[in-house]
Structure 1
């Protein structure tokens, strides 16, 4: 049986040459290495479980009888490669290859199954990407010039490869389109004011009125004679309309009486006949003769209470003032249009007809909204919508066309024109407008600004890339990059669902949790803004604290709610591994989890994801008087006796044990349940550590390149909006090489990501 398997696999050399068309010396070398290097190692270490009719884990290596078949099943070979690289296979209770043998086999898999040509790299393809919720809201803000919260109107986005801007998962259903249309309407209602401008309106909710009575979310409740008033600042002397939304309870022979007071004068009285569950508006026009602030309010004047009244519903007369709205001035010229309106509706030329004016307005808007110059005839079709509203005026017609533009594919999707979209061999450099869009959504999560658009239109963006990158990082909009990238890479968005149990940690609160998130964001922002080495994220000798967080960490002399940079005298707190956000995310409500902490470091900092655990594995319980008396370490040692669990836990557990001095809230501790905490362990590479300081040192000294590659992988994935594949290896190699040549500079890594072949180029679909 073994001989038969060997004879099949020995055919790989011949068949591989046939499939690839005999591409010469390189292929012959791969074939020769198969026979001399790879096959003997697989026979020695793998075939007992994955060959000769045995296929543990549904994997049979002897079914791959050619290199071509291996390349057709790259997903399987990715898993094989990962298991070999991370020492998950062979199992720890089986014979192990030496480091040199493992590296030899990995090198052959790379050359045979995942061949890349650094001289002719494949930039890959990106699925046409819809704007996600954050990008859509930010783009509306910068396009229209108004702040509009549309997050509640649009359904949440799906995530892929750890990020929510991945083209393959950003679908657009009819329900999505309806919500985007509603969001566009809400934004345009705020930004665009067709026709004559209505007079300004100031609304004061009842709970914000001054005076007697009680305030609640419903309004200002006057249960006895009294006044609810506000200090109003008129724009100028003139006529104003005061509208009071009110309701009340009957008492005695009628409803509550409500007097309108302006200063010390009573100008009008209403009988408030609206019941408490159905308030209504009571309006009266007034004249204000001054520009100085004036008191405007209402008084309840006919209080009544008689607990013996025969009609129970009339025993207590009260007044509820829900809100007061002041509109005006009503006379004089109308107010000017807001800036948001004027930036869209440019000044009309004398004698210009409606069609020409509408075309000019829509063309300028389309250039910004579509993030490129409009194509021939593209804007003209929107004029049909303008004509539909001709009876309501040209501005109303243009507004209707704007609404259509904000749900058009050219706005909702990030278009990147391709000369041959169906030709997978056709590689082209993206045009400068597409480059401007990639840059702006990478750093700002919004549309390109005028500077980027001007450079792109002149064909000068690539020549000015270094200066533009620095400008964009310095811009306040780069906070979006910090919050969106770290929120997903470091899982800071998940902090909102992490809350230690109150009975175990009574002093912890949501405000402290928010401070932990901000601390990590500010560290990342500082590293990028000040161009520090990327490994500063692991070993920074400073952090950002306010008084609450400093007290939680046991750091003295930090006062007040404001965050400030603090030099760390306690080395335990250096870098991400010493921050509460990390400990909170990797703990359960009642206890820490060495497994979750080890898994987080592997996945998020070293890009080494262990496979999922076998099914039906019971969860460990924290030691207690009534439960398991063994420590978590003792339970995990017992757990690792199972060969199915040993390999993965050998990777994760030592990392987690090194962090056990931090409890589930990130507070430091030396003992647990009366016992000293054992933080010793041996990492998968054989290095022995004791505690967080030695773990951090091991990561920085022994795994610097892996950390750089991990961050580069996450950055490139986020920047491209697609998952990385085997053909991206040359790009990642160059990003890491450029970063390390610049002593780990974070700015050098960002520039290398932007200069990379996948960011600057694309190919057609197959």
Structure 2
């Protein structure tokens, strides 16, 4: 028994057994199970698993040939798993020798492999998916435009196959349904205001305007008016006067009460200007030079007034509309320079006032209720609701759906409510509809097992929720309406990836794939790691997000995720790493690269890491911290993480009742961690798995439990060497990364499988293997670029096609 556990105790998943099956090529004929395989079952299995005595509710009596194996695939997969792991046959029964068991499992795998490669494509079947919290938040953002998180109080989504967007686990509890009702009311009450608020009026006395000086009140104020003169000594006395405002979208009205004296008896020419660093189409330098004083630039002259009032009693109010342009910051008022030889002009200003925005409805309301003003109110209702429902349901609206919503508006109007209230209520009801809360892929033939394409709108939703975790935008919906999305799919994938919303792919997919949400829960020992803080935690997470985002947006190779020569750091994280500048030179050591810019403050900058042990995911503090214990590193956790998340070969769960590694002070002081692990894995039930995990973890031992580089672990020198069971020897992170790059197909397969699972919202099945193999072949010829993975998934049968009944064996 001990020998069997040692041999079989640590295995790859059955999926990966199949990937390495002997009948790897589609043209190779599979073994004949009736010749030797059925004899193995007869000798070791049928005593307990027959039609009369089906132990564990499993009868193998009918498995006599290849066709029977394919028909009973689930049972065969189960046999593969228990025989390969050594669970079966049980210890108290006759057990096969190692070579005999390997021949049997290899034969089973080869038969299934051949069947998979030659089978008709099968896209599988996805359970109708509820929007998860991220998808709900993003969809509300893009549909309504509110600025708060409406899903903050929702229960956490369940996880399936490593992700929170898997249809089979996204249930709808009564508590969540209550939250949906509450959220819809809150959302629409902020998005549409049936009674808009009053226009905001701001009035600032001129004594408080800029340019400011302590002398203004005593030297430049005349009975409440601030005096400016074109021959003043500085900006305080010359102007123009200005003040900043906090602007919202929309048109404003600016006013100022003034009088002036030109010195020549003619009206005084006074300019009102708009200033802002991002202002588009500002006035020319020649135009601005005509205004006396220090004019802030860039600025746009809105209007030049001729002020006839020449005394306080005759003061007049200048009023002008301020257009809704981007980049607005300050309003300015000043006088034009007098002509050469003319006396200096003087301007007195009592106050500056700004009213607005004039349309006090929220921007969301203006957008949602936009309609043709020439239409009748019933026609406007249908225009507004048909547009809204099409976007909310992500498909064309059925006539009965539109009529139900219109009736809600009509009932509100009949009750004496405002039209805006009725539309608000109809939209609130839509946000509680299954057509909004679920990603519904209606099937006109649900009982048919025939494979057929998704319709264009279903494809648009799959694409946008894959790359944006949000609803399709108008361009996707328009293409779907025209039946042109499939024909333009590649171009749309690239467009979506360049959109800022694609950052969600990093946050939702990558952080779950890498299991980095756990970073929020780790608490390194404060005594051992006094530099640990919540700010450092956030910096660790942000480094990984920016790094993966750069690989995605720059369409770099997947392999850069392992061995990139750059990262992103801010001041605190650079200090944590001991990196001095943007060229990766180490603090306290002679520069090995030209001296770069110092890394300071909270802003992240790109940092080159040529020849450094840093670079790539494996050496980022986020990963190193979540794979450690609070007081020390864990080569086991780090090794398991690499096997599972990088190579796609997770080891099985540890046997029960395995004791923890001794962590008493005397144990730590008496032997290095490596030595203590050697004692721990002397247990034969643990040895084989640890032989795969521990060497990988040892290679990362130069990084402590919070990702700082080190050469000593306590009183002991760090030994970062490792040797895999196949004899591969390496030392340190650089050589470990080289080993993984030699196994790039395993890494590419892992990323492809994880991303495909995330994209289609279900776990992978045996019939998905041809899809994965096809993507991997394309990856090899495309230098493993990220776009090749994503485009391969989007173009795959699993993503674009559907079927009805689950007819799979």
**Residues 200 and 356 of structure 2 are in contact (CA less than 8 Å); yes or no, is this contact kept in structure 1?**
no
The 1:501–1:79 alpha-carbon spacing in structure 2 relative to 1, beyond 3 Å, is farther
Per-residue deviation, 1:175: 1.8
Q: Greater CA deviation, 705-714 or 451-460?
A: 451-460
Q: Describe the shift of the 1:567–1:82 C-alpha distance in structure 2 as closer, same or farther (beyond 3 A).
A: farther
Aligned residue number for residue 593 of structure 2: none
**Residue 71 of structure 1 contacts residue 113 of structure 1 at CA under 8 Å; is this kept in 2?**
no
- Verify the 8 A CA contact 1:85 1:106 in the aligned structure 2: no
Contact 2:30 2:110 (C-alpha < 8 Å) held by counterparts:
no
Question: RMSD in angstroms over aligned alpha carbons?
Answer: 3.6
| 1:562 match | 603
Q: For 1:442-461, what aligned pairs fall within 5 Å after superposition?
A: 442-461=466-485
> Alpha-carbon deviations, 1:217-260, whole Å to 9, x = none?
xxxxxxxxxxxxxx99897799xxxxxxxxxxxxxxxxxxxxxx
Cα 1:460–1:333 shift into 2, 3 Å: closer
Say whether 1:758 aligns with 2:758: no
Structure 2 partner of 1:537: 561
1:644/1:683 CA distance change after superposition, 3 Å: same
Q: How many residues align?
A: 615
1:620 is displaced (CA, Å) by 1.1
Partner of 1:172: 172
- The alpha-carbon distance between structure 1 residues 71 and 633, as it changes in their structure 2 partners (threshold 3 A), is farther
1:358 corresponding residue in structure 2: 381
Q: Structure 2: which 5+ runs fail to align?
A: 1-25, 203-243, 256-316, 321-328, 330-352, 582-597
- Taking the aligned partners of 1:592 and 1:159, their CA distance within structure 2 comes to 27
* Distance verdict in 2 for CA 1:51–1:576, change over 3 Å: farther
Residue range with higher mean Cα deviation, 673-682 or 580-589: 673-682
How far off its partner does 1:664 sit?
A: 0.4
1:728 match: 768
Q: 1:331, 1:680 → 2: CA distance? A: 71
Is 1:477 the counterpart of 2:515? The answer is no
The question of 1:367 aligning with 2:390 is answered yes
Aligned to 1:228: none
Pairing partner for 1:746 from 786, 789, 804: 786
In the other structure, the counterpart of 2:651 is 610
Deviations 1:657-678 (CA, angstroms, capped at 9, x unpaired): 2211211011112222322222
Residue 78 and residue 369 in structure 1: after superposition, are their counterparts in 2 closer, same or farther (change >3 A)? Answer: same
Change (3 A) 1:386 1:415: same
How far does the alpha carbon of each residue in 1:605-650 deviate from its partner, in whole angstroms, 9 at most, with x for none? 1111211112222221346336673333223222322222222222
- The answer to whether the aligner puts 1:505 opposite 2:545 as a matched pair is no
1:708 to 748, 752, 765: 748
Alpha-carbon distance in 1 for matches of 2:751, 2:356: 61
Q: Distance in 1 between matches of 2:246 and 2:552?
A: 45
Correspondence for 1:280: none
Corresponding residue for 2:312? none
Deviations 1:291-320 (A, max 9, x none): 999xxxxxxxxxxxxxxxxxxxxxxxxxxx
Asked whether the 8 Å contact 1:118–1:730 carries over to 2, the reply is no
Deviations 1:244-289 (A, max 9, x none): xxxxxxxxxxxxxxxxxxxxxxxxxxxxxxxxxxxxxxxxxxxxx9
CA gap 1:725/1:626 in 2 versus in 1, 3 angstroms: closer
Distance in 1, matches of 2:695 and 2:78, equals 23
Q: Could you tell me how far apart the structure 2 residues matched to 1:548 and 1:330 are?
A: 43
Match of 2:520 in 1: 496
Matched, 1:410 2:435: yes
**Regions of 4+ moved over 6 Å:** 26-29, 40-43, 58-62, 83-91, 231-238, 289-293, 329-334
Q: 1:65 to 1:233 in 2, by over 3 A?
A: closer
Partner of 1:466: 490
SS in 2 for 1:487: helix
Displacement of 1:110 in angstroms is 4.7
Deviations 1:16-47 (A, max 9, x none): xxxxxxxxxx99965724524x467889xxx7
Partner of 1:136 in structure 2?
Answer: 136
User: 2 CA distance for matches of 1:632 and 1:332?
Assistant: 67
Match of 1:337 among 348, 361, 366: 361
- Most deviating of 121-130 and 685-694: 685-694
Q: 1:401 to 1:764 in 2, by over 3 A?
A: same
Give structure 1 stretches of 5+ with no counterpart: 1-25, 203-230, 239-288, 294-328
2:82 and 2:147 map into 1 onto residues whose CA distance is 49
What's the offset of the Cα at 1:152? 2.2
Matching of residue 586 in structure 1 with residue 646 in structure 2: no
